[in-house]
Amino acid sequence: MTRQVVQLGKKYTLYIPKSVATELGLQEGDYLLLETHEGRIVLQPVKPPRLPKKYWATVTLEEVEEEGERLTREMEGAKD
């Protein structure tokens, strides 16, 4: 756990010390979730999901439609 005193700047700007940003892997432009809880401010990094660099499968629109129709037939059969 890292603890440091920081000061609010003009227009309530808060600067995160470089050592903290490095520790958390934060970079300029990253997003943080800010919450208040019992008189405290909690900041949590929000990382976008990482997409695989290479797709492991491809699906055509026809395959999606066929599967949808199959599932619909299956569900209708289960009602009977």
- Kindly report, residue by residue over 6-45, the tens digit of the pLDDT: 999 999 999 999 999 999 999 998 999 999 999 999 999 9
Looking at residue 29, what DSSP letter applies? T
Task: Count CB atoms within 10 A of the CB of residue 70.
Answer: 10
Q: Which domain holds residue 35?
A: 10-46
Instruction: Look at the chain and report how many structural domains it folds into.
Output: 1
What CATH number corresponds to the domain at position 38? 2.10.260
CB 31 within 8 A of CB 46: yes
Is 76 within the bounds of a domain? no
Is 32 within the bounds of a domain? yes
Is 24 within the bounds of a domain? yes
- Residue 16: per-residue pLDDT: 92
Rounded CA gap, 37 and 3, in Å? Answer: 18
Q: For a pLDDT cut of 70, what percent of the chain falls above it? A: 96
Is 26 within the bounds of a domain? yes
Looking at residue 52, what DSSP letter applies? P
Is 38 within the bounds of a domain? yes
Is 25 within the bounds of a domain? yes
